[in-house]
Structure 1
């Protein structure tokens, strides 16, 4: 049977960003040129990376890090938006999510340079305070300034924001059915062409292989996972995760193996997944309940087996669920 002009065509696009790949799977009218969409999606994530990367010395974020304390600096709107979201979640999480950990991230070797014992000692000895107390934003004039010395790092939110920009860009082309992602951080738009929700694997926290722990099905929602099993360094025979303890200026010593959060946007899911990792199972679950978050904590027992603990409607009845930014459609599907 030949296609008509009203048939939707499945498209699968991808490209490089932030040291990994972005992806977009969507259904669109046949006349929508995939090359044009590819270029627009690449431009969207390139803009995020150019503004928020700590790996690019000329990024807008690194320009802010280098600016003198007290000096107002003009900043692009998207960087200001991510700073605002990061500071808001920092306040809401009791500073468990802190975008002011750039010195510690770099010192421990999770940036573009190797770990440095001297910088590690300096990061752990440095006086710490919440980033929201150190950064002032002026949304009216599009400016930002530092009240005290601080090294900002947006790696716990920029990738999620990049996913949101992919979704927004597709929406600008009139695409209402899509699944977009960057390295496992995902956002679903609408339903698939068969009117079923989008299926996403929650990865098992295994550093040796990639395998699903469970399947999550989403509609108009985003999901992000923070874990200790992909980005880590080994120091003195001990494996240390990339997630920093804001109180110590050092990697978390004890934490869940991973935390998965479903939220309205991927930037929010990304930041909250990090915050709940920092808080740990007990305090993190309480925070998730208090904030109305849907979260899945995966914990290792003494034998290395994985145990799950869910918070919220999506994870309370089973390992898979349907989530919607407009409310829960159903849950507990397997």
Structure 2
């Protein structure tokens, strides 16, 4: 493994690498030795996120996730170590959140038009989907980690979109470390992780997005150093039913889309996979239950809640000090 680069900022070069993945883009901003093979690093980063997508995408019929979804209850399915690690963490957070995070909501996602099967809600499919996912995933999926196998004990369609992007960011961070990079900010959509600080010693500045549909605007800025951040919200993808705007995020406990007044939740964690999943869990849990859950789990979290015609911020950890809003 290459030696970690720790040269003064003056001899390091700021570069940006990026590429397409998972219907969005990955990017890395990093301060590196000018002699670093940038093409090799770019190719390794692209391969890492592609491996996550190939294993965990609900949009690829040949993904490992879809092989698990097609399996009959009781049938053991051999899976690669990466998706096994994500499934294990997903089930752990599902248990800790009492099902607020539920990776077994794939049928609901499809029925409401947010998956690969259709673009709009289908009433008949919704009625059928409400019978799926019972019991919740953390009670119906068994993992045999040592053997790299999993089996369902009930009909269920799994969806890892609430955790896989965060894991992809963690995998990019691992690639950067393997190439000796000590100062970087890796991002995949709304999930980011800082590796160290900038070479100058300053933390990486990351915008917290204002949860306004149809526009991209920063509500505030947080600083990251060896820390990950993820945001889940209802303002980018939703379905309008009458006067209600229903989120693409599913509440498996209600067998319905989230509709609880929470516009977004931002979570800080040491790894991006955990930040990603906990942001989803807290969004589903809602303002009161979510705050109580975040306190119980000692999470640093920022809730932005719609109250009539204004935003209300509720924060824990460093977010409790000053929030991010204006």
TM-score (norm 1): 0.92
1:49, distance to aligned residue in structure 2 (A): 0.2
1:132, distance to aligned residue in structure 2 (A): 1.2
For residues 62 and 127 of structure 1, do their structure 2 counterparts lie closer, same or farther at Cα, with a shift above 3 Å needed? Answer: closer
User: What is the 5 A alignment of 1:156-305?
Assistant: 156-236=162-242, 238-303=244-309, 305=310
1:91, distance to aligned residue in structure 2 (A): 0.6
DSSP 3-state at the match of 1:155: coil
Residue number among 139, 145, 151 corresponding to 2:145 in the alignment = 139
DSSP 3-state at the match of 1:257: strand
1:87, distance to aligned residue in structure 2 (A): 0.3
For residues 69 and 126 of structure 1, do their structure 2 counterparts lie closer, same or farther at Cα, with a shift above 3 Å needed? Answer: closer
DSSP 3-state at the match of 1:47: helix
1:200, distance to aligned residue in structure 2 (A): 0.3
Matches of 2:205 and 2:110, distance apart in 1: 36
What's the counterpart of residue 316 of structure 2? 311
1:6, distance to aligned residue in structure 2 (A): 8.2
Higher mean C-alpha displacement, 153-162 vs 227-236: 227-236
1:281, distance to aligned residue in structure 2 (A): 1.1
Is the contact made by 1:216 and 1:319 (CA closer than 8 Å) also made in structure 2?
no
User: What is the 5 A alignment of 1:94-113?
Assistant: 94-112=98-116, 113=118
Any unmatched runs of 5+ in structure 1?
321-333
1:282, distance to aligned residue in structure 2 (A): 1.0
Higher mean C-alpha displacement, 119-128 vs 130-139: 119-128
1:234, distance to aligned residue in structure 2 (A): 2.4
Matches of 2:301 and 2:156, distance apart in 1: 30
What's the C-alpha RMSD, in Å, of the aligned pairs?
Answer: 1.8
Matches of 1:282 and 1:75, distance apart in 2: 38
For residues 257 and 6 of structure 1, do their structure 2 counterparts lie closer, same or farther at Cα, with a shift above 3 Å needed? Answer: closer
Is the contact made by 1:187 and 1:266 (CA closer than 8 Å) also made in structure 2?
yes
Any unmatched runs of 5+ in structure 2?
1-7
For residues 274 and 127 of structure 1, do their structure 2 counterparts lie closer, same or farther at Cα, with a shift above 3 Å needed? Answer: closer
For residues 15 and 33 of structure 1, do their structure 2 counterparts lie closer, same or farther at Cα, with a shift above 3 Å needed? Answer: same
Asked if 1:61 is matched to 2:37, the reply is no
1:125, distance to aligned residue in structure 2 (A): 4.2
Aligned residues: 317
